[in-house]
């Protein structure tokens, strides 16, 4: 008996689905970072080696080490939601591949997520491809345009003073505290999107942030927010020059010469 | 705990005239295994919550992430490296031991034809021994004393429980705020091209690199019993200046060492040895990280000592003569395969090569011995929980110390195959089922009687056991 052509396609598609789905790669997934193309199949091997302990075999952040992560730190990210803190895209959007790539290489400070800069660029690209397979959002949505970062104006006393006023006006102190120590009156009540307690950033502990360490990185955090945490995006509230003022002020709260 | 048969080491340094010693060492080698510690540290995994596989290709073999962590002074750089940030109860201690079964076989052993009768003629026999056994024990502690001050203390025992200090050092990391300056002080593993402390083999014949310890045949034993260089595989006493790029793709290490092969106490002579290793890694698309490098170890060893009543006075070795080991290497990744390849060229001064005190005349036509060697060690990492191992190693003496010595005496061919399976992989402890077979052939180092022809010594080891640490 000969199957009609369309029937053959359906049959082959069904077989492919049966083969692929149990492997954890429900759909072919790749990542593109510059001239690198990441492959989810290779990424799966790497994930098993490096990431599974915290993020778990299903990518839901429920790895066997998850309950024992230092309580000062946020719980491991649940990749199945497709929600990520460090993005160059607007709040509510999925990140670019390069955002995930940078986060893997940089690590998230101060959390239990270390820098994986020691991995090769290809390995990091492969991991990005595999991490994307955990959430259908990456299949259904396209990353939106990148939040623009205009050139930084010079750091000047006026800019710092304006930033200080904005810190009060925007009520940043409610979470981060008047001195930026992460001990504002609302700090103890904060939870992340999975209702796990989460602490506001303490600016006095260093010069690195969860999503980078440059002034541009801090600017981007204001504009995109840290999705999945109480830190909102201010893109619709702050003008770019105001965001730079805030950056300049917050830098004064940090220890000088700290690395 | 890579097993090391003392007899296999000594067999390469004994002369033709030392037949009894050779035979004794063969039998000894078949019966006794001592331990050479290997490093895998669940205490770090517990501290940072990472599985063993994060730092180890398959423990104890490091991957590049583990290399960076080590180069950084056991720090991840996440502001939680200093002990003050840990729970007060955290104690960075690791215990490692391997209950095992092994079989040692020597193809040529001289035995009395009538057991117990030393006057009976010697005959050649195969000798095999086997049974359940233990490896040595490692009691390992390492970590940070403060940010950018790291340490390691490793008391290690042989299978009988006799301890020695395998390593003990303190390291000042990131001096002047740069990863290019790190200073280590104490007894430490040299930054060897391919670590002998973190490789996968455990057997008596395969549990060390022959090349790292090779010393060519001596024409006679030195009457002053002064110690000389025993190999770059041994942990050494001294200081190490080390530097690396952020991802450890570029690395260097330079050590100044007491020339006593890591033995505690006053050095047997009053000179220093030097070791330098420089390497560079680069990425090849689709293949992985490749690394190439070069190294040199050079120094001077004593040939005699001051004596009192004819007995050498410790610490007075003099009459120093030079030696060196130099080579290049590459570590190549091709997907799940990786190949460690190494070349070494060695030279000993003629006085060292002949075991002659420098105040005595040399044997006629004596020369400094030279040799070349290399190995290729292949791994196939099926998954983080299963790795296959193969190694072939050869040494060829290119110039014997005496012209009367057969040109191939002491040449070595060593071959190892095995696998390790890790039933689980998490951040608290490690367990591996280990199976390995190794075989070593040493050319013309067996002689039944002084009138007998020189023949090859051939030994083999089979081992299986549970290697665990916590």
B286 interaction partners in chain A (CB closer than 8 Å): 122
From the list A52, A110, A121, the residue facing B283 with the nearest CB is A121
Query: For position B263, what pLDDT does the model report?
Result: 80
> Which of B53, B65, B177, B249 to mutate to test binding with chain A, by most A CBs within 10 Å of its CB?
B65
What is the phi/psi pair of residue B33, to 5°?
-120, 135
**Among residues of chain B, what percentage have pLDDT more than 90?**
70
From the list B64, B78, B384, the residue facing A49 with the nearest CB is B384
Q: Which helix (H) or strand (E) holds A99?
A: helix A97-106
Mean residue pLDDT across chain A? 87
Topology of domain A28-140, CATH: Cytochrome Bc1 Complex; Chain D, domain 2 (1.10.760)
Assess whether the region A28-140 and the region A157-253 belong to the same CATH fold.
Answer: yes
- Residue B38's SS3 state is coil
Interface list for B 359-388 with A (CB within 8 A): 383-384
First to last CA, chain B: 14
Domain count, chain B: 1
Interface list for B 271-290 with A (CB within 8 A): 283, 285-286, 288-289
Residue A27 binned pLDDT confidence (cut-offs 50, 70, 90): low
Q: What are B299-315's pLDDT values in tens digits?
A: 998 899 889 998 888 77
Query: For position A145, what pLDDT does the model report?
Result: 76
Structure-model confidence comparison of residues A42 and B78, the more confident one = A42
A65 interaction partners in chain B (CB closer than 8 Å): 49-51, 426-427
Q: What are B153-195's pLDDT values in tens digits?
A: 999 998 888 999 999 999 999 999 999 999 999 999 999 999 9
Look up the pTM and report it. Answer: 0.87
Check B54 against A50: CB less than 8 A apart: yes
Does residue B31 have a pLDDT over 50?
A: no
Closest chain A C-alpha to B339 CA, distance in angstroms: 18
Query: For position A79, what pLDDT does the model report?
Result: 96
Four-CA torsion B204, B206, B209, B211, nearest 10 degrees: 90
Q: What is the CATH number for B164?
A: 2.40.160.10
Q: What are B312-354's pLDDT values in tens digits?
A: 887 788 899 999 999 999 999 998 999 999 999 999 999 999 9
Each domain of chain A, given as residue ranges in start order, spans 28-140, 157-253
Mean pLDDT of B439-461: 94
E strands, B359-400, are: 370-383, 386-399
Query: For position B260, what pLDDT does the model report?
Result: 78
B427 interaction partners in chain A (CB closer than 8 Å): 53, 64-65
CATH ID of A157-253, from 1.20.1440.230, 1.10.15.40, 1.10.760.10, 3.20.20.70: 1.10.760.10
- Give the burial class of A145: count Cβ atoms within 10 A of its Cβ; 0-12 exposed, 13-18 middle, 19 or more buried: exposed
Query: For position A55, what pLDDT does the model report?
Result: 95
Does residue A90 have a pLDDT over 70?
A: yes
Q: What is the ipTM of this complex?
A: 0.83
Closest chain A C-alpha to B100 CA, distance in angstroms: 27
Mean pLDDT of B47-67: 92
Q: What are A94-128's pLDDT values in tens digits?
A: 999 999 999 999 999 888 899 999 999 999 999 99
CA atoms of A58 and A76, how far apart (whole Å):
12
CB atoms within 10 A of CB B437: 17
Both structure tokens of A81 = 């939601």
Check B177 against A259: CB less than 8 A apart: yes
Does residue A248 have a pLDDT over 50?
A: yes
CA atoms of A208 and B228, how far apart (whole Å):
51
Does residue B132 have a pLDDT over 90?
A: yes
Does residue A210 have a pLDDT over 50?
A: yes
Q: What are B402-420's pLDDT values in tens digits?
A: 999 999 999 999 999 999 9
CA atoms of B429 and A162, how far apart (whole Å):
53
Check B288 against A120: CB less than 8 A apart: yes
Query: For position A258, what pLDDT does the model report?
Result: 45
Mean pLDDT of B198-210: 93
Q: What are A134-191's pLDDT values in tens digits?
A: 999 999 998 887 889 999 999 999 999 999 999 999 999 999 999 999 999 999 999 9
Residue A91 and residue A232 in contact, taking contact as beta carbons nearer than 8 Å: yes
Does residue B429 have a pLDDT over 70?
A: yes
- Most confident region among B14-18, B260-264, B311-315, B324-328 by mean pLDDT: B324-328
Report the candidate in B295, B436, B313, B354 with the shortest Cα–Cα distance to residue B13: B354
Lowest mean pLDDT among B13-27, B73-87, B239-253, B432-446: B13-27
Query: For position B13, what pLDDT does the model report?
Result: 33
Does residue B286 have a pLDDT over 90?
A: no
Check A122 against B49: CB less than 8 A apart: no
Structure-model confidence comparison of residues B290 and A198, the more confident one = B290
- Give the burial class of A80: count Cβ atoms within 10 A of its Cβ; 0-12 exposed, 13-18 middle, 19 or more buried: middle
Mean pLDDT of B425-437: 93
Does residue B119 have a pLDDT over 60?
A: yes
Both structure tokens of B198 = 């973190």
Does residue B204 have a pLDDT over 70?
A: yes
Domain that holds residue B140: 2-469
Residue B8 binned pLDDT confidence (cut-offs 50, 70, 90): very low
């Amino acid at each position: 008996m000969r199957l009609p052509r369309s029937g053959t396609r359906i049959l082959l598609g069904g077989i492919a689905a049966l083969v692929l789905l149990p492997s954890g790669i429900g759909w072919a997934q790749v990542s593109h970072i510059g001239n690198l193309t990441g492959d989810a199949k290779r990424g799966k091997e790497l994930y098993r080696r490096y990431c599974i302990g915290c993020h778990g075999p299903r990518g839901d952040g429920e790895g066997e080490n998850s309950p024992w992560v230092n309580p000062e730190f946020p719980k491991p990210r649940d990749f199945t939601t497709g929600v990520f803190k460090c993005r160059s895209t607007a709040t509510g959007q999925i990140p670019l591949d390069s955002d995930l790539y940078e986060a893997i290489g940089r690590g998230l400070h101060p959390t239990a997520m270390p820098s994986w800069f020691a991995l090769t660029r290809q390995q990091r690209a492969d991991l990005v491809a595999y991490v994307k397979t955990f959430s259908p959002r990456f299949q259904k949505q396209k990353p939106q345009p990148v939040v623009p970062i205009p050139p930084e104006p010079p750091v000047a006393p006026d800019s710092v003073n304006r930033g200080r006023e904005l810190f009060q006006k925007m009520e940043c102190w409610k979470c981060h505290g008047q001195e930026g120590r992460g001990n504002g009156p609302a700090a103890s009540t904060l939870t992340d999107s999975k209702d796990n307690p989460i602490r506001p950033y303490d600016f006095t502990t260093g010069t690195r942030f969860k999503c980078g360490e440059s002034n541009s990185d801090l600017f981007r955090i204001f504009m995109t927010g840290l999705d999945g945490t109480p830190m909102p995006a201010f893109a619709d509230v702050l003008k770019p020059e105001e965001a730079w003022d805030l950056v300049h002020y917050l830098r004064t709260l940090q220890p000088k010469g700290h690395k | 705990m890579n097993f090391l048969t003392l007899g296999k080491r000594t067999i390469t340094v004994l002369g033709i005239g030392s037949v009894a010693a050779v035979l004794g060492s063969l039998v000894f080698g078949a019966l006794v295994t001592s331990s050479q510690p290997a490093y895998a540290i669940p205490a770090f995994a517990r501290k940072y919550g990472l599985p063993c596989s994060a730092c180890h290709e398959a423990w104890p073999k490091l991957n590049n992430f583990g290399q960076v962590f080590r180069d950084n002074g056991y720090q991840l750089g996440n502001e939680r490296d200093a002990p003050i940030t840990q729970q007060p109860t955290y104690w960075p201690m690791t215990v490692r031991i391997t209950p095992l079964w092994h079989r040692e076989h020597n193809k040529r052993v001289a035995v009395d034809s009538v057991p117990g009768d030393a006057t009976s003629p010697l005959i050649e026999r195969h000798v095999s021994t086997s049974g359940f056994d233990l490896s040595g024990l490692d009691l390992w502690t390492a970590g940070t004393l403060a940010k950018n001050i790291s340490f390691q203390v490793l008391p290690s025992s042989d299978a009988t429980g006799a301890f020695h200090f395998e390593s003990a050092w303190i390291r000042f990391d990131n001096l002047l705020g740069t990863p290019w300056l790190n200073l280590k002080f104490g007894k430490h593993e040299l930054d060897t091209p391919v670590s002998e402390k973190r490789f996968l083999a455990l057997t008596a014949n395969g549990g060390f690199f022959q090349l790292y310890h090779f010393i060519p045949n001596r024409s006679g034993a030195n009457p002053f019993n002064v110690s000389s260089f025993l190999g770059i595989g041994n942990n050494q006493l001294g200081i190490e200046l080390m530097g690396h790029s952020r991802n450890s793709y570029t690395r260097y290490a330079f050590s100044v060492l007491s020339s006593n092969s890591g033995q505690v106490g006053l050095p047997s002579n009053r000179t220093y040895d030097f070791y330098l290793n420089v390497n560079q890694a680069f990425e090849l698309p689709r293949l992985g990280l490749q690394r190439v490098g070069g190294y040199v170890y050079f120094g001077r060893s004593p040939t005699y000592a001051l004596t009192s009543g004819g007995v050498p006075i410790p610490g007075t070795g003099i009459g120093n003569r030079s030696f060196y080991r130099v080579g290049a290497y590459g570590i190549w990744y091709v997907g799940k395969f990786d190949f460690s390849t190494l070349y070494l060229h060695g030279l000993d001064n003629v006085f060292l090569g002949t075991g002659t005190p420098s105040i005595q005349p040399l044997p006629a036509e004596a020369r400094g011995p030279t040799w070349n060697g290399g190995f290729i060690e292949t791994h196939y990492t099926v998954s983080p929980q299963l790795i296959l191992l193969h190694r072939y190693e050869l040494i060829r003496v290119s110039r014997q110390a005496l012209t009367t010595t057969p040109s191939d005496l002491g040449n070595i061919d060593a071959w190892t195959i095995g696998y390790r399976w890790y039933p689980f992989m998490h951040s608290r402890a490690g367990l591996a089922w280990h199976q390995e077979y190794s075989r070593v052939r040493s050319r013309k180092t067996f002689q039944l009687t002084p009138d007998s022809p020189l023949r090859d010594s051939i030994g083999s080891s089979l081992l299986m056991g549970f290697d665990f640490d916590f």
